[in-house]
Amino acid sequence: MPDPYYRPSAPPPPPPQWPPQGTFHVQTPRPKSPWSTGLCDCYDDPQNCITTCFCPCVTFGQVAEIVDKGSCSCGANGALYALIMFATGGCACVYSCCYRSKLRAQYGLREEPCPDCLIHCCCCECCSLAQMYRELNRRGFDMSIGAYVRTINRCYCSCNCLLIDWEMR
């Protein structure tokens, strides 16, 4: 009696064609755009300038929340910045430098006037944080509410209850 579970092997697939048939799209890197404000244009937003000078952890928290797309809150980011700043004697510039690089990558900004680490660690940490804040503000983010905007979506769960959902801006 033949085995009912036995299947003869299928013929091998044909070898791939080289070069592959089809259309190729080559992505060229888009040109880097300049920052919307200069590094030392702190007085374009005097309120943020003062906040950043006396409590940079607030500005950093606001910027980091948006750069991270809301994965961590403004308060948590600001508290971590303050903890690093006090624990290391002011070396939070290395941490904020990473966020400047992330921001530049997200929006295709130039690394100017010098590399990010030099701006944060050697030039002026407060000027850099204020510039990042202004950039996001000019790109339409409401810095007072962060990455999320409260909206009510009419989503119903299985028990037919109305859910309130948070949406990314």
pTM over 0.85: no
Closest C-alpha to 77, from 62, 88, 97? 62
pLDDT tens-digit map of 58-73: 998 999 999 988 888 8
Domain coordinates in residue numbering, the chain:
42-168
* pLDDT for res 168: 43
pLDDT for 153: 40
Quick: pLDDT tens for 120-129.
777 788 888 9
pLDDT at 46 over 60: yes
The one-character DSSP state at 43 is G
Structure-token match 């300038």, residue found: 49
pLDDT in tens, 33-42: 888 888 888 8
Would you say how long the chain is, in residues?
169
Structure tokens belonging to residue 77 = 């980011």
Dist. CA 110–CA 30, nearest whole Å: 11
State yes or no: cis peptide before 29, omega within 30 of 0.
Answer: no
Tens digit of each residue's pLDDT (9 = 90 or more) over 71-94: 888 888 888 988 988 888 878 888
- Say yes or no to pLDDT of 151 above 60: no
B/e letters for 52-62, b = 16+ CB within 10 Å, e = fewer, are beeebbbbbbb
